[in-house]
């Protein structure tokens, strides 16, 4: 079946990229963990130690920060690489016939392998630090559909930006600025309670905030999350996935000459 061929090709390209970029599984593990680990240390030192920010939660600021940083880093890396996917593979796409639809999903899969590994290790940490009743294992089930919907959301945005980047090659610079603004507009390094009430509308329309809140709800509070949160996550995911796949199918035949 066609979807099986797409799935196999996507997985093949993802693991090939890991071998080529990191030199094997060991290098992949080191570099996938190094980037978010460095970001975590920098922001923890700046926010928790210098500014002495504390949160009134049953868990510490370090756990709060780690969960947000890990999810954001995986999402950001996947989206940044996806933006240049068509341009980077342009010469190959002109010479070898294969579906360009697999380029972005393979990049997302590559980034989310690191995300999954980090979530697994964090759940082990939660299991060994105060939760001997195995609640982290039960709630971990909800991470599977949540990660899947985040992958759909990221893939949709990646398809959209990869097509636009063919026409506007400096789009990558704009995306870097956008991601920086998006990062600080999302309560990743600070609790959402610090945002004034008049700016709550920013959080309501911020997909990254919705995803991270639900990840924290599952991993930190050990709760499956509310129906409203899940509805928002599914809505954001399906909407941007459909927009992205529509852009690819409609505009790719026209942009092939620009690659």
Residues 31-51 pLDDT 10s: 778 888 899 999 999 998 998
pLDDT in tens, 5-26: 667 767 777 777 776 766 665 6
Closest C-alpha among 166, 13, 180 to residue 83: 166
pLDDT band for position 131 (cuts 50, 70, 90): low
**Res. 96 pLDDT band, cuts 50 70 90:** low
Q: Is 99 helix (H, G, I), strand (E, B) or coil?
A: coil
pLDDT bucket at 135, cuts 50 / 70 / 90: low
Question: Rounded CA gap, 69 and 106, in Å?
Answer: 22
Q: How confident is the model at residue 231 (pLDDT cuts 50, 70, 90)?
A: very high
The pLDDT > 70 percentage for the chain reads 86
- Percentages of the chain per state (helix, strand, coil), in multiples of 5: 80, 0, 20
**Cα distance between residue 69 and residue 64, in whole Å:** 9
Give me the pLDDT at residue 258, please: 65
Is the pTM here over 0.85, yes or no? yes
């Amino acid at each position: 079946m066609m979807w099986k061929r797409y799935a196999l090709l996507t997985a093949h390209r993802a693991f090939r990229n890991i071998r080529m970029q990191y030199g094997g599984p060991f290098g992949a593990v080191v570099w996938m963990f190094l980037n978010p680990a460095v970001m975590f240390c920098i922001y923890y030192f700046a926010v928790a130690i210098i500014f002495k920010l504390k949160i009134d939660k049953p868990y510490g600021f370090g756990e709060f920060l780690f969960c947000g940083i890990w999810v954001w880093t995986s999402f950001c890396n996947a989206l940044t690489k996806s933006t240049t996917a068509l341009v980077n593979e342009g010469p190959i796409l002109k010479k070898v016939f294969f579906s360009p639809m697999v380029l972005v999903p393979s990049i997302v899969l590559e980034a989310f392998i690191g995300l999954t590994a980090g979530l697994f290790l964090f759940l082990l940490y939660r299991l060994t630090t105060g939760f001997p009743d195995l609640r982290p294992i039960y709630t971990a089930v909800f991470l599977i559909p949540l990660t899947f919907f985040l992958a759909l959301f990221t893939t949709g945005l990646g398809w959209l930006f990869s097509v636009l980047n063919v026409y506007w090659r400096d789009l990558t610079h704009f995306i870097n600025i956008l991601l920086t603004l998006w990062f600080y507009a999302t309560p990743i390094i600070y609790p959402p309670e610090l945002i004034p009430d008049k700016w709550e509308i920013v959080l309501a329309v911020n997909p990254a905030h919705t995803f991270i809140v639900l990840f924290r709800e599952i991993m930190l509070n050990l709760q499956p999350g509310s129906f409203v949160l899940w509805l928002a996550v599914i809505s954001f995911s399906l909407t941007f996935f459909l927009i992205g796949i529509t852009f690819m199918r409609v505009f790719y035949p026209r942009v092939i000459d620009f690659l």
